[in-house]
A = this chain, B = another copy of it.
């Protein structure tokens, strides 16, 4: 018993979109212990879709489709599946009703083309879509073969997978031997440096330890195979513990933890608040902090001080210092941090100023130079200098600036 993922969409064949759905489904299948050996991408073409189905049913017993459930004529997945199994499509009134309600909620009227989305193969169950108008199906067209379909919109697919597909697959006996992983997260250390520190652990077989790195964050994935999640967690715990001890403050969290959530939890625990003053990041740090529900517990707000006038008017940065040291300087970063802390009355303040590029760099202040200022509850201020390198993109420099500012605050909160 194994699965095959079939992604349908000419836009994937044209390279217009990155196939993130396939990665999501692959991770999900792995965590349920459902093996899958092939992934197939096919365009919006009825004939070729049916050929792909003919191949897949010879090598897999669960076919998982994404894409091609929309209202337009090139959305052919349901039609193709039904045709392959010579099964008529039936209009389901409960789907029509659901689509009409969704349109009504947004003050619109259902268009005629959406009717198509209510057609599903006779005998198939509806896999409800809580967000959009395209439901999927769960269908056993023949003995020993199960088909699940999902729309291509990632958010809808994820919700439908979690709400309906996972319970269904578990009810079919899957997920008995599971693979469970923890992703340990590090900042302030390179991949090879961390890998050398924990080299001996790479030889383990259950759990296994594998390194990943991207955009300044290094991760170690610790994966265990076991009969249950608690068993897997018990296998992982001592290894994770050992890694954390080796890494010290460079370890910042695991799994869904982000620098923003870790900093937020530390602030909440201490009953302290934060405000931010952003120049080159332009709101990115605030956005990162407020990605989290309940961030209003500790985050008061901030000032996006993109122009020098705003730095003076709203953050009390001294005009003389702007002129003497320049807007991109440790002095200005410190004054921004202190200014926003005082104006907003928060415990802590962060200031960020830098050159995100691609233009605007000089010999002494190249693209990628960023200063982070931190003001403490005691009114101390300090600044940190980063040189991210002019070869990095504007957006990566901005992203890394926000991350490193949070990482500095995290280290202060922990020390």
| Chain A residues within CB distance 8 Å of chain B | 10-20, 22-30, 36-43, 45, 48, 51-52, 55, 59, 70-74, 105-108, 111-114, 130-131, 153, 155, 159, 179, 181, 183, 190-193, 195-196, 202, 210-215, 221, 223, 275-276, 278, 280-291, 293-296, 299-307, 309-310, 313-314, 343-345, 357-359, 387, 389, 391-396, 398
Contact = CB atoms under 8 A, between A and B. Distances in A.
A137 B24 CA distance: 31
Contact of A192 (B106, B113, B275, B285): B113
Q: Count the copies.
A: 2
A25 B19 CA distance: 13
Contacts of A299: 282, 306
Q: Interface of chain A, helix or strand or loop or mixed?
A: mixed
Nearest to A11: B212
B39 A41 contact: yes
B23 A19 contact: yes
Contacts of A37: 13, 42-43, 45, 48
A40 to B, nearest CB: 6
Nearest to A133: B192
Nearest to A284: B287
A304 B306 contact: no
Given A43-B37, A391-B131, A300 B307 contact: yes
Contact of A287 (B72, B153, B281): B281
A39 to B, nearest CB: 4
Contacts of A191: 70-72
A190 B108 CA distance: 10
A393 B157 CA distance: 13
Nearest to A296: B306
A18 B212 CA distance: 12
Contacts of A313: 343-344
26 contacts: A11-B221, A12-B39, A13-B30, A13-B36, A13-B39, A14-B26, A14-B179, A14-B223, A17-B212, A19-B19, A37-B43, A70-B191, A72-B202, A74-B202, A130-B391, A153-B213, A280-B290, A281-B290, A282-B286, A282-B290, A282-B291, A282-B295, A291-B398, A309-B345, A310-B344, A313-B344
A297 B350 CA distance: 25
Contacts of A190: 108, 111
Nearest to A71: B192
